[in-house]
Structures are given as C-alpha cells and as structure tokens.
C-alpha cells in the first residue's frame, strides 16, 4: 500500500514539473504576455499644448426679478479651468475644474483644425461635452450638458487663456476689490419716524461687507496671533483664511469666495483639494482663524446694485 502511494506522489510531482516547463499552469504564460502589453509605451504628441487654460464660462439662466417676481433670461459668468495633461494619437486626457467640481475629461484632438472634443464621464448631472478650438494660447468654444434638464444653463460658451499656475505667498486681493458679499443678503426690520412723529416699520435687505484688514493680513506669510484678529468681522476672517487656499489654486464651491478671488489676475482654480499643499504655518493660521470665525459677527450695509 505504501509503495502505491509513493508511486502516485511521484507521478503527480513529475506532472506538475512538466506543466510548469510548458508554461501552462496558473496562467503564467498569459501573465508574461500581459506584462509585455503593459510595457508598451504609447507616444505622446503635441506636448506644447499641455497646461491650464482658464477664463470665462458663460451661459444664460432663468432669473427672477425681485421687484415683481417675473422671470427673465440673464447672463451668468463663472470661471473654469481646463487642464490638458496628455495627448496621444488617439486620445486626450485632462480635467475640468469649475465651482469646486473637478471632473476627468477624455476625448480626441483634431490636428488639422486644432480642435478638441472632450467628454466628462457622464455619471454626474452636471457633466457634458466640450468642443473647443486652439488659437495660439487661447481656447474658445462651447460646452453642452448631457442632461439638458438637470442644469440651469445647458449650453455655455468658453473663452480661455493658457496660464501657468504658480503658488506665490505674496498674492493678495487687489486694493480696488469690491468687498461686498452680494450672494447672501439678509433682511432687517427697521423703523422710520416721520416729521409728525409717526413711526413705521419696514424691511430692508443688506449685504455683508469686509474691511481693509483683508489687504493687510497675509496668513501665508506671517504667523497670526489672537490680538490681530479678535476684533475682525466674520467676513474678514473668512477672506483672510480662504486667501491661503486661493493661492494654492483651490476651486471654491461657495460663490461668495469665488466672487472675491475671481477679481484678481492671479487666481487660477486647479484643484478641488489643496490641504496637503499648505505649509505648517498656513495650517496653524487656518486653525486659528476657524476658531474665531465660529463666534465672529458680521457688518451689514445697504447697497444699490
């Protein structure tokens, strides 16, 4: 009985060794073929077109007239960045960045017309197709939403310029920047007393407004302390804090912050997450500002538009 067992074991061992030599066990032959295929490098072309193209993303949206509640078509402008990362003979790879939403794009490049057709994935309601043409360092064209009913403005035009993103801790808001937060008006009840002593109440809409502190405090260059920021307005603190993220190319989801930084020439949205790019001092300053933002109050004023 023992002799029979040894014979069977020997035969099985010889069989396995033979199979390995033939390359037919557990897909080893296929693995080597796959490795060869994966090692093929697809050549890249037109690397001179790689980079960030940023500018206006404009469309028409239905708006409501506050005076009478009627609807009308109004123009809406946003800033968008298209990043071209890789071009091959058959494909183009990149990203679209707008409103804090970063989406991969893939498509084709027509060499004769110097034009791109680039599609976002299509699994988000805001995805669509870019059809843009190169002219020097400019990209112009249009974007069409895949789902026409899911977005307010399903057709937008693009006018972009190629820019090199550079982090610079010295970047600040321009001194002539508009410091009013137009996106979050708040209603206040106020009283009016006429010449006869009769008092009436009325409702007025006011907007938050920042102070010139946003031009003086730079959380990317100086270690902030409590004394410097304890009496600042909430909007001041928010702008000083988010200036740090803007310098690193963060694409803001909040319209309030986009409106402030899009007034500058240096702001280029390139990423939906820049947390790992912040310096240790910037991180400490952001943490300090967050503590004070939580309890700070705002200054509201009335403004005509």
Give the pLDDT confidence score for residue 157 in this predicted structure.
Answer: 97
Q: How many CB atoms neighbour CB 205 within 10 A? A: 12
Write down the mean pLDDT value for the chain.
Answer: 87
Q: How many CB atoms neighbour CB 225 within 10 A? A: 10
Total residue length of the chain: 305
Q: Per-residue confidence at 22, pLDDT binned at 50, 70, 90?
A: very low
Give the pLDDT confidence score for residue 34 in this predicted structure.
Answer: 46
Give the pLDDT confidence score for residue 85 in this predicted structure.
Answer: 97
- Cβ burial, residue 114 (10 Å; 0-12/13-18/19+): middle
Question: What confidence tens digit (pLDDT) does each residue in 157-197 have?
Answer: 999 999 999 999 999 999 999 999 999 899 888 887 877 77
- Is the pLDDT at 7 greater than 50? The verdict is no
DSSP state of 26: T
Give the pLDDT confidence score for residue 304 in this predicted structure.
Answer: 53
Nearest alpha-carbon partner for 93 in 83, 106, 109, 81? 106
Cα 122 to chain centroid, rounded: 17
Confirm whether pTM is higher than 0.75: yes
Distance of alpha carbon 49 from alpha carbon 136, whole angstroms = 9
Distance linking the first and last C-alpha atoms of the chain: 101
- Is the pLDDT at 71 greater than 80? The verdict is yes
Q: Per-residue confidence at 63, pLDDT binned at 50, 70, 90?
A: confident
CA of 241: how far to CAs of 8, 214, 247, 290, 297, in Å?
A: 76, 10, 11, 8, 16
Question: What confidence tens digit (pLDDT) does each residue in 137-155 have?
Answer: 999 999 999 999 999 899 9
Q: Per-residue confidence at 6, pLDDT binned at 50, 70, 90?
A: very low
Give the pLDDT confidence score for residue 1 in this predicted structure.
Answer: 47
- Is the pLDDT at 21 greater than 60? The verdict is no
Once rounded to an integer, what is the mean pLDDT over residues 40-45?
A: 88
- Write the DSSP assignment of 59-75 as a string of letters: EEEEEE-TTT--EEEEE
Q: Per-residue confidence at 31, pLDDT binned at 50, 70, 90?
A: very low
Domains and CATH numbers, the chain: 47-163 (2.40.128), 180-301 (no CATH)
- Is the pLDDT at 202 greater than 90? The verdict is no
């Amino acid at each position: 009985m023992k002799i029979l067992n040894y014979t069977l074991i020997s035969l099985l061992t010889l069989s396995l060794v033979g199979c390995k030599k033939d390359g037919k066990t557990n897909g080893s032959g296929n693995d080597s073929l796959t490795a060869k295929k994966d090692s093929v490098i697809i050549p890249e072309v037109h690397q001179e077109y790689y980079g960030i193209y940023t500018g206006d993303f404009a469309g028409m949206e239905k708006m409501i007239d506050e005076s009478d509640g009627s609807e009308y078509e109004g123009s809406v402008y946003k800033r968008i960045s298209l990043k071209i990362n890789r071009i091959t003979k058959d494909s183009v790879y990149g990203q679209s960045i707008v409103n804090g939403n970063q989406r991969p794009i893939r498509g084709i490049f027509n060499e004769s017309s110097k034009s791109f057709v680039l599609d976002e994935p299509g699994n988000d309601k805001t995805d669509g197709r870019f059809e843009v043409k190169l002219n020097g360092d400019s990209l112009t064209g249009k974007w069409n939403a895949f789902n026409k009913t899911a977005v307010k403005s399903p057709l937008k035009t693009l006018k972009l310029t190629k820019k090199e993103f550079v982090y610079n801790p010295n970047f600040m808001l321009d001194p002539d920047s508009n410091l009013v937060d137009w996106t979050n008006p708040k209603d206040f009840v106020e009283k009016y007393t006429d010449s006869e002593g009769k008092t009436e109440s009325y409702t007025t809409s006011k907007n938050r407004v920042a102070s010139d502190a946003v031009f003086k405090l730079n959380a990317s260059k100086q270690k902030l302390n409590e004394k410097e920021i304890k009496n600042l307005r909430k909007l001041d603190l928010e702008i000083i804090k988010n200036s740090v993220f803007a310098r690193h190319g963060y694409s803001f989801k909040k319209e309030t912050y986009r409106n402030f930084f899009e007034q500058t020439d240096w702001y280029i949205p390139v990423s939906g997450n820049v947390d790992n790019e912040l310096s240790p001092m910037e991180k400490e300053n952001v943490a300090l500002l967050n503590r004070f933002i939580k309890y700070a109050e705002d200054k509201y004023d009335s403004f005509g538009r």
